[in-house]
Amino acid sequence: MTGGGHGEAGRPSTVLRQMRWWDVAAVVPVERELFGATAWSAATFWSELAHPENRWYVVAESGTELVGYAGLMVSGAEADVQTVAVAPGAQGRGIGSLLLRALVGEASLRGATAVLLEVRADNAPAIALYQRHGFTRIAIRRGYYQPGGIDAWIMRLRPIGPVERPDGWCCPPAG
C-alpha cells in the first residue's frame, strides 16, 4: 500500500490497491454518479477483472472510503486507459494523478511503450490532467460520446520510459 497516516487537514491519506471483485459494489455507485447513462455495469467490471492477463484495475481509498478507481488494458507495446474516475467529493486532491501514474507504471512493467486514452472533448479538468502527465492529442472522434454526440479526443503518452513505483507500492507486478 501507499500512504498511511493522515494527509492535509487531518484527512486520511490516499491508499492504492489492486481492485478485486468485492470492490465492484463500491465502484458502481461512483461510476453511475460520474457517468450517468453511459456508466459501466457491475457485470462489465467483473468481466474486466476476469482478464488479469491483459487488464489491470486499481482502487484509491481514503480511510475506509473508496474515492477513485482506474483501469488499463495492455496489448503488446500499447496500453489503453479504460477508465479513470475520482468521486466528486474527492476531486481536486491529486487522486487522479495518483491513479494515472499507477496505470502508466503498470503499462511500463508490462512492456508497453505507449499509453492511449479517449476523453470527452468537453472535460477540461481531465484533459488538463492528461496534458500535465505528458499526453498529447493525436486525433478526434467526432460525435463519439452519446447521448449528445460529444467529440472524443484520443491522447497518447509516448514514450513511457522507465517508471519507478513509490516505496511500499500496493501491487505485485503481473506475471
- Residues known to be catalytic: 118, 130
**Cis bond upstream, residue 159 (ω within 30):** yes
CA separation for the pair 3, 174 (Å, rounded)? 22
Contact (CB, 8 A) for 51 and 71: no
Nearest CA to 61 out of 107, 100, 18 is that of: 18
Nearest to 152 by CA among 128, 125, 117, 104: 117
